[in-house]
Structure formats: C-alpha cells, structure tokens
Structure 1
Amino acid sequence: MLKKNLLTSATLIGMGFVPLAQAADQFLDNRWYVAPFASYVETGGDRKAADGWGGGLGVGKIIDEHFNAELRGFYQGFGGTNGPWDLAGGTADLQYYFFRDKFSPYAVMGLGAMNTCASANCGVGFIGEAGLGVSYEVADNLLIRSDVRYRYNNNFNAHVQSGTDEFHDMTVNLGVVIPFGEKPKYVAKAEPYIAPPVDDCSTRDSDADGVNDCLDKCPGTIKGATVDHNGCAVRLILKGQHFKYDSAELTEKAQGILDDVAGSLIAYPQKNDIEIQGHASSEGTDSYNMKLSQRRAHSVLDYLKMKGVTNNLSAKGYGETQPIADNATEAGKSENRRVELIWIEE
C-alpha cells in the first residue's frame, strides 16, 4: 500500500507543476554536477526484511532543456529474519525534466547492477529503476532534489534469498545537486534581421514629369507642364476648345482642366509669379485678336483665383503675335488658339 501511495504522490507532484512551466528562450546550461543523497528503502515482502536506510553519490551532466544523464553509486542496509542485508550497486540514469524552473519536476529511469548480501549469501544481479521527482533551485550552484523510485532486482539464481531471486523495493531519495562553474544566463532567441526594402528614389518618378524623385524639388507637377531640371513647372499650355466661340467664357471642359491646375497649385505650391498668356490664330483682325486673347487670359486668371490659388497671377493677351504652328492650316490655327501659364523665375 505504501508503494502505491508514494508513486501516486510523486505522479501528482510531477503533473501538478507542469502548468508552471516557463519555456526559456534559449537554454544554455550544460554543466557537470555531483549529487550526494540519502535513501529510505521500503523492502518488498519477498525479502522478508525490515525497511532500511542508505546513501550514495551521483555524478551527472545537464544535456539540454529536458535531459540529464547521471551515474549513481549507493549503499543500503537493513535487518531481516534471515540476517542483515547489505545492498551496494550503481545505475546509469536518464532524467527527463518536464520544464526547467526554480521548481522542476522530472521523470527518471535507471539501469544497473547491485551486489546483494543477506547474512553470508551474496550475489550480483540486475536492477532497473523508474520514478518521479522534483528539484528546487536554492542558488545557481545548489539544488535540493528528491525522488521516489520503484526498483526491480533480479539476482539470476544466486539464491541470496531462498524461494526467489526477484525482488521489488521502493526507495525515497533526498539530496542535493551541486553544479560546477557559473550558471549560464538565458538569452532571448535573436529574430532574424530582415532588411527593409531599399527605397531607390532614383528609379521612381511619382508625378511623371521626367525628373526622378531624388532630384525633384517640386513634387506633384501639373500634368502636361514643362519642367526645369529641378522638376518645377515653367510652362503649361492649354490647347483645344477651351472657350465658347468668339467668347472669353470657359467651356466645362476647360473648367475641369483648370480645377486640376488649381488643385495642384494649392497642394504643391510654387511661390513663383505666374503670367497667364492668351494667344490667338490669324483669323480676324490683329486688334480684335489682341483684345480677345486678353479677355481669355483674364478669364483663366479669375477662375484660378476663385478656386483659391494664392500665387501672384497676371494676365496678358498676345493676339496672333506668337504662333507655334502654321496658320495656313486648320490644325495649325487650332494649335495657335491657346492659353499658356508661364512661371516667372524668381
């Protein structure tokens, strides 16, 4: 009954502390250690012996976050109806830690050999152990450790005890673990560095004005404008049917274009003065064309002002004095009927 209670308690201890696990980012401890211990032995009924005491020493190494390997030697003694019993042996243990923390539960399995003497009868046999335990870290170089183990012993016909060569014992071990050297510190796992994408402005021209963004000092250039080497507008020609016939009244199409012009001038202001020039084809008299081009230039100026443009604007009519195409053709005349915005250099 005591065996069952001890195993049950050890199992509950191990399971109860599993939720307390705190996974280290990176486990670095791989020190060697020594582990002296004392033992209480509850003997099986097959030995016909009393319970007893003993002790031993383990030498081990921390392998990784979960495993320790350890060699243990021990001596245990107790009385019995067939004389005093003396057990001396050793095991190679593998310990599995559910997690490493100040309080760390583990499971253990060990294989080894043991010399058993009952009075004058002695024999060497095989032992196998399995159990559960816990360790408590007092300091970096000192831990208290205890485990409960079931031990199976087979003496292979040595006849140490008449009637059987198989024995079943329970051991409770309590001792300390003394690691050698300084305890390594846990370090966070380094996340791989991913370099941000290179923003190569030399290959980008956001406002499509022909000047890359690295050199463009005037972003948001008005579409269709001629720019200088800094990407700043110097000239914008408004061609097409922008006025009603023989009138300075803007068409809806012209108003839409000027809305875009005004929006760009407000969003990306160039503080230069702007001259609005009106030009005409050769149809009609010089005097009439001069006055019409002047009125059309003023019409554009008034519209831009109404839209909130804050640049210093001036309007001037040039009539038919500055053609850009041949007035002998209808296509040429259409080219010459235009309004130009000229940015005055400061």
Structure 2
Amino acid sequence: MLKKHLLPFAPLVGFAILPSAHAVEPYQDNRWYVAPFATFINSGGDRRASDGWGGGVGVGKIIDEHFNVELKGFYQGFGGSNGPWDLVGGSADLQYYLFRDKFSPYAVVGLGGMNTCASANCGIGFIGEAGVGASYEVNDHLLIRSDVRYRYNNNFNAQVQPGTDEFHDMTVNLGVVIPFGDKPKYAAKTDTRAAPAPFAVAPKPDCSTLDSDGDGVNDCLDKCPGTIKGAIVDAKGCAVRLILKGQHFKYDSAELSLNAKELLDGVAKDLIAFPQKNDIQVQGHASSEGSDSYNMKLSQRRAHAVVDYLKMKGVTNKLSAQGYGETQPIADNETEAGKAENRRVELIWIE
C-alpha cells in the first residue's frame, strides 16, 4: 500500500535531483536558521489508518557548501479503525546538498524518537528517516524547502498496534527556511600572478629626418610617396619631370631598344603602384643632326612609341605625345656628349 501511495510523489523526487549550474563563487555562508514546515503523512498499511497532516519546526546550521545539520520537532495526526493516531517526536537531521545555488537539491537522513498514541495505547519508539528534497532561494533571508521521506518506526514492544511494533510511513514536508543575519558577500579572488613585463616600444622615427623614396623631400612634407626614381619633384615631393637619357631607340628609328623597354617597365610599375593622377605629356627631343623638319617628325614618332608602350603596360594616366625636334636643347650640340644629352624623352606631369 505504501508503494502505491509513493508513486504520485516520484516526479517530485526526480525534480529534486535535476542538475543545475554550480555556483562559481567559493561558498562562505554558515548562518544558523529556523525552518517551520507543514507535513502530509501517508501512513503504512501496518497501521490500518488513513492519511493525515501535521507540522513542526527545525533549527539548523549551514556547515559548508554541502552540509547542513538540523534538530526538529513535529506533530502529526490522522484517523483510522483503531485511532485516532497522534505522533509527537523529534530527530537530528543531516542534509547533503549536491550544490548550492538558487535551486539546491539535497539528500537527507535523520535519527530520532517518537511517542505514538493510537486511542489510549501509547508507546515511545525509535525513528529513522531518509529522503530527497530541494530548496529555492527567494532572497538572502528566505528559502522555500520541500522534501519527501521514508520513515521507519519501531516502538519496542509497546503494543500500540496489536500484532506489530514496526511501522513504515512516507512524509512530504513543505516549509520555509529563515536564516539569521546577513548572507556573507563573496569576495572576488585576487589574481596574484605577476603582471607581464611591458613590451619595449621602439621610439617612432622623426618623419622630418626620413626620405623614404629618396626624392629629396622629407616624409613629413611628402604628399606623393613612392616617387619614380630619378624624377624631378616639386616642394610637395610630387613628380613634375622625368628625363629618360641614353640609347632608347635604334638609329634613325622610333623602335624602342631593349634598354628603353626595361627602363619604361620600371616607370610603368611605379606609376601603377603610386598613382599620381595628373595628365602626363611625353616629349620627344633630338640633337641638331639632320634637318629641322625631319628631327621634328622623328621626335614625334618616338614620343608616340613611349606613350603606346606605357599604355600597353597598364598606365591609366592620360598620356599625350609631343615632338619638339631640336628646338629645346639642354646641352651643347657641338660636342658628341652634348648631342647625347639632347637625344632624350621627357615625361612632364601637367597640373
């Protein structure tokens, strides 16, 4: 019969042992408390009695993260064919909490004594209890608590119930826990590890002493970093003129030499990598050898050859070709060295 009555309370037992997140702080609460409770008792078939009600109060102390100890007293009463029954007793309980959190499941065992009266027959006996339960923290000063317990009672030949002195009951308790005093505050752990040594940070170079692209303008003032090597620049470090000297064309031809192509490959690469989006005029110049009109046409064709080659290499600046023949010498045409200087191509960045 007791087994049959225990079945409705199985979900409560299962709920009491559900896992929950462990508290992350070290547990420091060790307060005393008082715990009034109400009881439903399912009497065993050996009493030949009905179910009943009762209540009691416990006084306990929190020992550590897992254990409480508690002394409690109680009264329970119910009817029956040989009743009424009155149970008055007390026990010392040990509660083991799986963990402490807002919801805290626990197991409990208790030992004590109980005076049992059925009608006029009374006897004092031993009781032992075991069960499971859980508490729910409403706030720092109030918890709701419930447990389900099996109780063994032996009345030592008191003959309260003819035929047996052993009884098996189930109790369901519901009450509150009221701790005394304030709940201890959890102090944050202090990290005592030594702080890592700071990284040595190299001092930032003074930009006024740097000229990263070698154009003669320091990095603080240079608005066009990455200037093409050999270019003439303005005060802001932006290219305004690049003179290409040497044997860039075959004799009496506008066909670029291998040396010229290698040089123009570098120019194209720099123009793409560090775009200075001005229009660029490619100027062709000649020495005084040959007639003026011939030199004018030859310099124009050579300027066009340079423009076409740079476009083929991916330069996106607007490029234009202009031949000046022998009209703008930069050296003496009376010497071979001077004539070599005058045979040139210039790139002019147009504002």
TM-score range, shorter chain: 0.5 to 0.7
Instruction: Give the Cα separation in 2 of the matches to 1:300 and 1:250.
Output: 7
Which structure 1 segments of 5+ residues have no match? Answer: 186-196, 328-332
Q: 1:96 to 1:293 in 2, by over 3 A?
A: farther
One-letter code aligned to 2:72: F
For residue 91 of structure 1, what is the aligned residue in structure 2?
Answer: 93
Residue-by-residue CA offset, 1:101-128 (whole Å, 9 max, x unaligned): xxx4x53212343123346754566x45
Residue-by-residue CA offset, 1:314-335 (whole Å, 9 max, x unaligned): 9877657299xx96xxxxx7x9
For residue 114 of structure 2, what is the aligned residue in structure 1?
Answer: 116
Is residue 221 from structure 1 mapped to residue 226 from structure 2 by the alignment? yes
Residue-by-residue CA offset, 1:190-249 (whole Å, 9 max, x unaligned): xxxxxxx9999969xxxx7369x9858446625545698976557656567654543345
Instruction: Give the Cα separation in 1 of the matches to 2:344 and 2:226.
Output: 20
Cα shift at 1:93: 1.1
Cα shift at 1:132: 3.7
Cα shift at 1:88: 0.4
SS for the counterpart of 1:4 is: helix
Residue-by-residue CA offset, 1:24-78 (whole Å, 9 max, x unaligned): 9967996656543222233445667765523123546597xxx664333322334
SS for the counterpart of 1:90 is: strand
Greater CA radius of gyration, 1 or 2? 2
For residue 170 of structure 1, what is the aligned residue in structure 2?
Answer: 170
**Does the 8 Å contact 2:280/2:348 carry over to 1?**
yes
SS for the counterpart of 1:10 is: helix
**Does the 8 Å contact 1:47/1:167 carry over to 2?**
yes
After superposition, the CA RMSD in angstroms is 6.0
For residue 331 of structure 2, what is the aligned residue in structure 1?
Answer: 321
Cα shift at 1:302: 5.5
Aligned residues: 302
**Does the 8 Å contact 1:148/1:172 carry over to 2?**
yes
**Does the 8 Å contact 2:56/2:75 carry over to 1?**
no
Is residue 246 from structure 1 mapped to residue 248 from structure 2 by the alignment? no
Instruction: Give the Cα separation in 1 of the matches to 2:249 and 2:158.
Output: 124
One-letter code aligned to 1:90: A
Instruction: Give the Cα separation in 1 of the matches to 2:220 and 2:166.
Output: 92
One-letter code aligned to 1:174: L
For residue 213 of structure 2, what is the aligned residue in structure 1?
Answer: 209
For residue 263 of structure 1, what is the aligned residue in structure 2?
Answer: 272
One-letter code aligned to 1:4: L
**Does the 8 Å contact 2:38/2:174 carry over to 1?**
yes
Q: 1:300 to 1:130 in 2, by over 3 A?
A: farther
TM-score (norm: length of structure 2): 0.54
Q: 1:176 to 1:248 in 2, by over 3 A?
A: same
For residue 156 of structure 2, what is the aligned residue in structure 1?
Answer: 159
One-letter code aligned to 1:76: F
1:51-200 to 2 correspondence within 5 Å? 51-57=52-58, 59=60, 69-78=67-76, 84-96=86-98, 100=102, 104=103, 106-118=104-116, 121-122=123-124, 127-133=128-134, 135=136, 137=138, 141-151=141-151, 159=156, 168-178=168-178, 181=182
One-letter code aligned to 1:9: P
Cα shift at 1:262: 4.8
**Does the 8 Å contact 1:30/1:61 carry over to 2?**
no
Residue-by-residue CA offset, 1:66-103 (whole Å, 9 max, x unaligned): x6643333223346969854220121212346974xxx
**Does the 8 Å contact 1:209/1:227 carry over to 2?**
no
Identical counterparts, % of pairs: 32
Residue-by-residue CA offset, 1:118-144 (whole Å, 9 max, x unaligned): 46754566x45222446484x675444
SS for the counterpart of 2:10 is: helix
Which structure 2 segments of 5+ residues have no match? Answer: 187-198, 206-211
**Does the 8 Å contact 2:92/2:111 carry over to 1?**
yes
For residue 317 of structure 2, what is the aligned residue in structure 1?
Answer: 309
For residue 194 of structure 1, what is the aligned residue in structure 2?
Answer: none
TM-score (norm: length of structure 1): 0.55
**Does the 8 Å contact 1:218/1:268 carry over to 2?**
no
Instruction: Give the Cα separation in 1 of the matches to 2:158 and 2:214.
Output: 103
For residue 193 of structure 1, what is the aligned residue in structure 2?
Answer: none
**Does the 8 Å contact 1:239/1:338 carry over to 2?**
yes
Instruction: Give the Cα separation in 1 of the matches to 2:92 and 2:318.
Output: 96
SS for the counterpart of 2:252 is: coil
